[in-house]
Structure 1
Amino acid sequence: MISIIIPAYNEEKSIKDTVQRVFFVCKNSFKEYEVIVVNDGSTDKTATVLESFKTSHLIILNRGFNRGYGASLKEGIEYAKGEVIAITDADGTYPIEKIPQLINDVEQGFSMSVAARKGRYKNTSLIKSVPKFLLDKVANVVAGQKISDINSGLRAFRKKDVIPFFNIISDKFSFTTTITLSYLSNGLSVSYIPIEYRKREGKSKVKARDGFDFVNLILRTIMYFNPLRIFAPVALFLMGIGVLKFVYDLFNEPYLNITPSVIFVFLSGLQILAIGMLADLIRTTRK
């Protein structure tokens, strides 16, 4: 059984075409499948459009109010009967025909397979592209490797692999970001399949405040899986500054005792390192 999950919020203009495309791919690729659409409190005609489909393969989960992109996906994942799950957006931007390839990668042994968008900044405004670019770089450092596409909404994974990370994965738009970091930080294998990315139908649901949530969630993920990636560089930097200041004072004022500023900076670095090592010990024990 293969489960395809589509979260939808006010997508009346694109949901019909998206669901039809998903059914076309499933009918030609899988023997057993289900398509789960989580209607996340839509106030337009999304529910009416979905009700026009007459097939037992379509499961519609209607929510009375908007809980968020990630919360919708989590609900769909928990409801899904399939061992392997693929997710895609309702806005028609992703090449759904790539789903069989993504699922094949998972069945061949990868923990997750991600559709990596080529030139994903070209149709994005400068004000959105710069933060995304910077956050991509931060995420690469966190994961310790290059991430081809950290927040692609088209991907496949096993249900049993993703459930344990629900407590750290976001209920909002950062779901895909935090699931990627969670997998990579925990040593799970991820494959990337290059895709072309179309311009979305309708208005984007991402708001400015989601950017702050995005940064917060990256920091939370670091702390949860790789605390030393933050604490160690900061600690070593401060301790290094302390040592350099001590050497400078020694050569310029040889009769001066160690200055309070040297002691403060060096001990601050040492304390931060100790906290990081304790957090890492807790992480290791938790595993």
Structure 2
Amino acid sequence: MDRELISIVLPVFNEEQGIQKTIDVLLNYCDNRPERYELIFVNDGSSDQTKAIISKAIREHPEIKLVDFSRNFGHQLAISAGIRYTSGQAVVVMDADLQDPPSIIPEMINKWHHGYDVVYGQRLHRDGETLFKKATASLFYRLLKEMTSIEIPLDTGDFRLMDRRVVDVLKQMPEKDPFVRGMVSWVGFRQTAVKYDRQERFAGESKYPLRKMIKLALDGLSSFSLVPLKLAQWLGTLALITSLITLVVGLITSFSLGVEILFLSTLLGGVILLTIGILGNYLGRIFIQSRERPLYIVSDTKGFRSQLNQINLEEHNSRLVNSN
């Protein structure tokens, strides 16, 4: 019992094609390591047999645990929920599709033993992804780095190890639309990278299509940057200057007044709509955060001690509301 406990949090959503493989790989990894492990799967409202497969594994392996959402609340909230249920001295967050290989975890643990509080996986290559996905991901990370007020490492996802004191700080941040990697950077502490090649997905399909990637990018920007608000101001100033220049040029050259009016109307209309959209995004986040609703609803837990089950199911959601 003196061996340190490492918690691994794995959000899952419709992963029935590959979840058994993931369980087998992780159990084999845990069996060959000196540390103790708990594997906490967070079922984010799967409509397939993902929950049933995990539940069956729990009956055979006490180190596996399940947190079951009442519906789909999203990948980032599933991570937030998972870390709240951990009890390890360190917590590893990883996806359940084996793109982030468990073989990297020992290197993370080694750096943790050398005094680092956060050890994040930094991708060198992204196997099995389209050129468009790689290009947009690269652009996203670099724009985020330039536009946010915190230092978010390039080419990093949510695959990381965190010390218990970092997790305890994150648990005090009940954000409605969390951007976990940004939150981890924001809390500070000693952080370092482990570089690795991201593997091709073993089975199934990505749960982050373009639409969700855009939402994640907007969440990251609006959570940690005021640049979009300043951009609206800059665009308004630019539109005003452009309008004045166009008007002066039109008076000097006797340019068609109708063309001038059409150009200016289109320009000003576009700037106004863009500005309203930017403001609406920030106001929407304020509105969502102000509602006293729980971040998510846990319908069931499996594999935890009965006392913890009772606490989680009866009090957990109310604690989240009260913490706001």
SS in 2 for 1:47: helix
Aligned amino acid, residue 32 of structure 1: R
8 Å CA contact 1:143, 1:181 repeated in 2:
no
Correspondence list, 1:1-287, <5 A: 1-53=5-57, 54-120=60-126, 123-141=128-146, 142=148, 147-151=153-157, 153-165=158-170, 167=173, 178-200=179-201, 201-223=203-225, 227=226
Higher relative contact order (CA 8 A, sep 6+): 2
Aligned amino acid, residue 184 of structure 1: S
After superposition, the Cα gap between the structure-2 partners of 1:163 and 1:229, relative to the gap in structure 1 and judged at 3 Å, is farther
Q: Deviations over 1:209-245 (max 9, x none)?
A: 223322322222324xxx589859x88xx8xxx9xxx
Question: 1:165, 1:47 → 2: CA distance?
Answer: 27
Aligned amino acid, residue 45 of structure 2: G
Question: 2:66, 2:39 → 1: CA distance?
Answer: 8
SS in 1 for 2:41: strand
What displacement does 1:101 show?
A: 1.6
Question: 1:32, 1:66 → 2: CA distance?
Answer: 30
8 Å CA contact 2:169, 2:187 repeated in 1:
no
After superposition, the Cα gap between the structure-2 partners of 1:162 and 1:213, relative to the gap in structure 1 and judged at 3 Å, is farther
What displacement does 1:10 show?
A: 0.9
Aligned amino acid, residue 3 of structure 1: S
Q: CA RMSD in A?
A: 3.2
Aligned amino acid, residue 11 of structure 1: E
8 Å CA contact 1:168, 1:221 repeated in 2:
no
After superposition, the Cα gap between the structure-2 partners of 1:189 and 1:14, relative to the gap in structure 1 and judged at 3 Å, is same
Percent of aligned positions that are identical: 23
What displacement does 1:186 show?
A: 4.5
Q: Deviations over 1:18-58 (max 9, x none)?
A: 12221222222234221111122211111222233201111
Q: Deviations over 1:116-135 (max 9, x none)?
A: 22222x63324333332221
8 Å CA contact 1:7, 1:40 repeated in 2:
yes
After superposition, the Cα gap between the structure-2 partners of 1:103 and 1:76, relative to the gap in structure 1 and judged at 3 Å, is same
Deviates more, 1:159-168 or 1:108-117: 159-168
What displacement does 1:96 show?
A: 0.7
After superposition, the Cα gap between the structure-2 partners of 1:27 and 1:129, relative to the gap in structure 1 and judged at 3 Å, is same
Normalised by the length of structure 2, the TM-score is 0.61
Question: 1:52, 1:211 → 2: CA distance?
Answer: 32
Q: Which residue of 2 aligns with 1:271?
A: none
Q: Which residue of 2 aligns with 1:269?
A: none
Question: 2:35, 2:151 → 1: CA distance?
Answer: 36
Aligned amino acid, residue 209 of structure 1: R
Q: Deviations over 1:112-169 (max 9, x none)?
A: 111222222x633243333322211122223665824232x42110243134345476
Deviates more, 1:107-116 or 1:1-10: 107-116
Question: 1:143, 1:187 → 2: CA distance?
Answer: 13
Aligned amino acid, residue 78 of structure 2: S
Listed as ranges, the gaps of 5+ residues in structure 2 are 242-324
SS in 1 for 2:156: coil
SS in 2 for 1:86: strand
Listed as ranges, the gaps of 5+ residues in structure 1 are 243-287
Question: 1:194, 1:170 → 2: CA distance?
Answer: 31
Normalised by the length of structure 1, the TM-score is 0.68
Question: 1:143, 1:106 → 2: CA distance?
Answer: 26
